[in-house]
Chain A
Amino acid sequence: MKTPELPANETARLHSLRATGLLDTPADECFDRLTRLAQGIFGVKIALVSLVDEKRQWFKSCQGLEVRETSRDISFCGHSILQDQIFVVPNTREDERFRDNPLVTGSPWIGCYAGAPLVSPDGFALGTLCIIDDKPREFSATQLRQLRDLADCVEEEIRHRQRKRYYRALEQLSLLRNDSRGDPREHLRAGLQLGCEYLRLPFGIVSHIRDDDYRVVVQVSPPGALADGQTFSLKDTYCALTLQENKVLAIDHMAGSRYASHPCYRQFGLESYIGISLQVAGRCYGTLNFSSPDARTPTGFSDFDYEFVQLLARWVSFLLERWVSFLLERWEVDTELMRYRQVEQAVAQAQASFINRPEHPQAFAELLEEILHFTGSEYGFIGEILHDGDGSPYLKTNTITNLAWNEASRRFYEDNIAEGLEFRNLDNLFGSVIATGQPVLSNRLADDTRSSGTPEGHPTIQNFLGLPIYHGNQFVGMMGLANRAEGYEKSMMEDLAPLLRTVGQLMEASRVQRQQRASELSLKRSEARLRGLFELSPVGIALNELDSGRFLEVNDAYLVSSGYSRAELLALEYRDITPGEYGAEDAIQREILISKGQFGPYEKELIRKDGSHYPVIIYGMLVEDASGRRLIWSIIEDISERKRLAVMQREFVSTVSHELRTPLTAISAALAMVSKGVAGALPVQAETMIGLALRNSERLQELIDDILDMEKLVAGKMSFRFETCALVPLLSRVIEDNHSYAERFSVRCELAGDAPDIRAMADPKRLTQVVANLLSNAIKFSHEGGVVQVRVTREDGYARVAVIDHGVGVPENFQHRLFGAFAQADGSDSRRVGGTGLGLAISKKLADKMNGRIGYCNTDGGGATFYIDLPEVSAP
């Protein structure tokens, strides 16, 4: 028996056979009809459509035979497919090749055989249409032609099947197209799967090509061969060739083609390839390609294949377009969402930052950072609009991108950035935002007339977006952004609106907080100052409740005076520490306090803890606490020490006066008596010296008298006996009394002119003292031979006594000190002219005490005029 040989193109033949999709499929009436016809026409027992597989022959249609397949080794058809023509074995028993064939020697007892090869459209003999009988038999040429005709019908049916396969593929593609829900990637994969099956190629790829990058978007391949997302260099793929074509590129057998030297072939050894470029949204997206390590010979890719690939590519493009637009859309939506999220996040972050550290400008800095990032801007600032004293607006930054371009600007930023930079020149782009309260957008700053330029070295500002910041209707600040690569768009204003609102709120909150902090600080300082004053005051301070009189607060000074501890005193009322005799005065002061809001100062005594009394001067005011409770703030000055000092002073002056006067009395008396010759006549020199000693003891006497007078006046202890004084007689007496004194200076004193009969209310003794003082001064300062006049006049209801001399006068720069204690124009004068320097001071105090006034003016023609005015009393 002769085993059939394998055809040279066995692999491709088998591939082609499988591609028919007929193997192992159920019986089909179309084929059965033809085999029944053959059986009838040729009057044979068996008619088959036999397909020769790798190891067997399988009967797609079978008449007169029970089995569906037999081994290829013993098959007659295995021989038939090696023939171009019908293979006829008229008598198997006599044919060497088949005589011992089990199919001859056993069932089905083949006696004769005629098989017409069934050739696929791509040229492979897939099997046969054969007729078999159990008896040897000859077939006529007509019969063989008829068999060929029938075989052609079978071939046609197979081709039809293939077309049907194509149509079915198209149908499936159409189904895919109609059902585009779900993951577009899986749809694409289904399309590729369909393509691989239809084209009978193991690799199917949708690629995305950008420049030299070839990326596998979706693929179908034998396990482990390829993966989605895998990338290659474009030049290492056949797609580099496909992109050059504007139609399907198909290579059946790479080794034999002009592309044999292509790197793809060398690298991957793909023998067949069919591919087409994919157009998505009018642009080249990549390729759809199918390939195989096997060559597609001998027939190569069919027209159906080209057409299928084109159709599939159209669908893939369509899908990709949808996908891309979907992705794009999703990306846009995502981006939009992301932007909103960014905005929300920035707002929340800024607010949180502000809430956490309101005193810190970090919130603005963080917000600006976000906004710069969000808008893609390079520089920016956020600033508050403030006003100068004259109402001119200026910008003070809350935060600003550090633009330092040299050492000087770096230092400037470092020193000022935290406090905020102030921009007062508003003749520029951001100035026009401040001036108008409207946004300013400039994408070509170089050509914008509103731009005032930048200092030398300053980074270039290409474009600028200035946005006003409002809080409610109030224009509170602005934000400036600069250098966005793509320039600024109007729509950005809308995008930034929520951020700007937040900035406005933060600005307002910051301003309010600043104010609060300032007022809190000032309140704290003021409280601290007051608390300090309260606590450190050397004078007692107490707070009492008006109604109950209860102590609420006392300072240490008060505690020290009272001898009480704070706790003890706070358990008392002010009445508890007031001696009973002051009850009436306290009641009066309380009335004054209620009606006028203040009381005192008045003097009273308080009771110490030990029961002793101490004098105080007390005054105070009425206040209300937050609850409307009326309280008394009192200042209680402990005047024990003052009183003690006053007593001491009195005693001291008294002692001094006594202690000084006692020896002076002895000295004066002794000298007076000696000078009067009580102890006998004295030598002339001794007499002169005794006279000198006597004059000086008198001067000392005057000084002591003046000091005592002054002390009494200051202490208010000098008593006055007021009466109506006729001035002319009084003055005449004073002039007379000073006659001898005047003579010593060779000066004459006189009552001037017709002295009117004027009376004044005064203490005559004190008035005499004043006039005598004025007169003695006038005498002392007159030139030798001069005249001192005493003139009585009426002045504004006062009786004026003027003492007029024509002496040296009073230097102008001394006039204002004339009536001060120990005042003498020239220190040397006191020695020359004598006097204590207390005379005028005493005179002034005496004049004051007598409700009068004392004064000075220059005498016409030189000299001094001193006067005392006293209330005039009308003549009876």
Chain B
Amino acid sequence: MELKRILYVEDEPDIRAVTELALVSLGGFEVAVCESGEEALKRAVSFSPELILLDVMMPHLDGPETLQALRQLPGIAEVPVVFMTAKVQSSEVEAYKDLGAADVIAKPFDPMTLSDQVREIWNRSQI
């Protein structure tokens, strides 16, 4: 099985645009781009993603809160979630993992290898 559908949540429009470009154009994924945690919650069930890329620092619902909320949604509970954050302390990485994140991708990321990175994480989560 191959990863195809990614729900991507990011409040920063520029990052959103670049990431979307990297995932869609370079990775060839089907991406649902959300501007906020709330939007993600609305669209998650209908989109039915195979992986969720979640920015940590967002207004209103931040990454961890969005994660918690998403876990309550039908069919979403088992979907691997990857945080993207500028805060990359190892302790935080562990904390995010404890929250149920599959992994953490540090910002800034290399757009050329982002898709490979995401795919690798998804593959690991499938084992």
A-side interface mostly: helix
Q: Are A658 and B108 in contact (CB under 8 A)?
A: no
In residues 1-42 of chain B, which contact A (Cβ within 8 Å)?
12, 14-15, 17-19, 21-22, 25-26
**B112 partner residues in chain A, CB cutoff 8 A:** 672-673, 676, 678
Q: Are B21 and A678 in contact (CB under 8 A)?
A: yes
**B65 partner residues in chain A, CB cutoff 8 A:** none
**A666 interface neighbour in B18, B87, B110, B114, Cβ under 8 Å:** B18
**A665 partner residues in chain B, CB cutoff 8 A:** 15, 18, 86, 107-109
**B90 partner residues in chain A, CB cutoff 8 A:** 719, 721
Q: Are A719 and B89 in contact (CB under 8 A)?
A: yes
- Closest CB-CB distance, A610 to chain B, in whole Å? 33
Q: Mark B97-109, 1 if CB is under 8 A from A, else 0.
A: 0000000000111
Q: Are B22 and A662 in contact (CB under 8 A)?
A: no
Q: Are A669 and B111 in contact (CB under 8 A)?
A: yes
Known: A663-B14, A665-B109, A673-B112. A658 touches B87 (CB 8 A): yes
A662 to B106, CA, bound (A): 11
- Closest CB-CB distance, B96 to chain A, in whole Å? 15
Q: Are B89 and A670 in contact (CB under 8 A)?
A: no
A701 to B89, CA, bound (A): 16
**A676 partner residues in chain B, CB cutoff 8 A:** 112
Q: Are A669 and B87 in contact (CB under 8 A)?
A: no
Q: Are B86 and A657 in contact (CB under 8 A)?
A: yes
A662 to B89, CA, bound (A): 16
Q: Are B86 and A662 in contact (CB under 8 A)?
A: yes
- Closest CB-CB distance, A875 to chain B, in whole Å? 29
**A669 partner residues in chain B, CB cutoff 8 A:** 15, 18-19, 22, 108-111, 114
Known: A666-B12, A673-B18, A719-B91. A658 touches B86 (CB 8 A): yes
- Closest CB-CB distance, A702 to chain B, in whole Å? 11
- Closest CB-CB distance, A375 to chain B, in whole Å? 96
- Closest CB-CB distance, B113 to chain A, in whole Å? 9
Q: Are B91 and A668 in contact (CB under 8 A)?
A: no
Q: Mark B111-123, 1 if CB is under 8 A from A, else 0.
A: 1101000000000
- Closest CB-CB distance, A706 to chain B, in whole Å? 14
Q: Are B108 and A654 in contact (CB under 8 A)?
A: no
A670 to B13, CA, bound (A): 13
A118 to B87, CA, bound (A): 169
A661 to B18, CA, bound (A): 14
Q: Tell me whether B57 is interfacial, beta carbon within 8 Å.
A: yes
A672 to B25, CA, bound (A): 14
Q: Are A701 and B108 in contact (CB under 8 A)?
A: yes
- Closest CB-CB distance, A693 to chain B, in whole Å? 14
- Closest CB-CB distance, B40 to chain A, in whole Å? 18
Known: A666-B12, A666-B15, A678-B26. A672 touches B86 (CB 8 A): no
A721 to B21, CA, bound (A): 37
CB closest chain-A residue, reference B91: A719
Q: Mark A649-664, 1 if CB is under 8 A from B, else 0.
A: 0000010011001111
Q: Tell me whether A712 is interfacial, beta carbon within 8 Å.
A: yes
- Closest CB-CB distance, A670 to chain B, in whole Å? 5
Q: Are A712 and B110 in contact (CB under 8 A)?
A: no
Q: Are A672 and B111 in contact (CB under 8 A)?
A: yes
A712 to B21, CA, bound (A): 34
**B18 partner residues in chain A, CB cutoff 8 A:** 665-666, 669-670, 673
In residues 680-734 of chain A, which contact B (Cβ within 8 Å)?
701, 712, 717, 719, 721
Interchain residue pairs with CB less than 8 A apart (11): A658-B57, A658-B86, A668-B110, A668-B111, A669-B18, A669-B114, A672-B110, A672-B112, A673-B26, A678-B21, A719-B89
Q: Which residues of B contact A (CB under 8 A)?
A: 12, 14-15, 17-19, 21-22, 25-26, 57, 86-87, 89-91, 107-112, 114
Known: A673-B18, A719-B89. 20 other contacts (CB 8 A): A654-B87, A662-B14, A662-B15, A665-B18, A666-B17, A668-B108, A669-B15, A669-B19, A669-B109, A669-B110, A669-B114, A670-B18, A672-B110, A672-B111, A672-B112, A673-B22, A673-B112, A678-B111, A678-B112, A712-B89
